[in-house]
Amino acid sequence: MQLQQGWITEARKVPSPHFNQRPNDEVPSLLVVHNISLPPGEFGGPWIDDLFTGRLDPAAHPYFSDISHLQVAAHCLIRRDGEIVQYVPFHLRAWHAGVSQYQGRDACNDFSIGIELEGTDTLPYTDAQYQALQRVTELLIAHYPEIAHNITGHSDIAPQRKTDPGPAFDWARFRTALSSQRDGS
């Protein structure tokens, strides 16, 4: 896996308009893990791509009328089968975190990378998703070393608003896999 101008070369690219420049050429130093399913609890389909590119049809599902106006995008989505979809180059600011704070610092979008897992707070994530998330995280750490010490969930940076990636996300499994890779195990 490689990065080329902020894009993962192996990822499916679906460019989003929901980004801008990071302030003062800020270098990403935080990875935020999210989850998303559209409609809620359903997987597959074009809806996440449509939301992140501003093309979500509010008439396609009753839930969509409440969210189709949102201007949001993560840097990447990892589908249930492990497919990696990228919407925003990593050096740019994707609009994924909203009102947020990490270690006393506000506006996490300024200094973070957002990775969405296709899922819910309560359904187990797939082996393919953990493997893809590990590969993406290792690639990001190679380019943005501070991320190695700053990985968190959306629920941790916006606890009054968000619950993802939820109790179904196995933080111990993810961190152990990252540690063993860095230790050469």
Say if CB 17 and CB 55 are below 8 A apart.
no
pTM reported for the whole predicted model: 0.96
CATH number at residue 38: 3.40.80.10
From the list 116, 118, 138, 146, the catalytic residue is 116
Q: How many domains does the chain have?
A: 1
> What does the pLDDT look like over 122-176, one tens digit per residue?
999 999 999 999 999 999 999 999 999 999 999 999 999 999 999 999 999 999 9
Distance CA 94, CA 92 (A): 6
The helix (H) or strand (E) run that includes residue 182 is helix 171-182
Per the annotation, the verdict on 116 as an active-site residue is: yes
> What does the pLDDT look like over 25-75, one tens digit per residue?
899 999 999 999 999 999 999 999 999 999 999 999 999 999 999 999 999
Give the range of the structural domain holding residue 148, as residue numbers without chain letter: 3-182
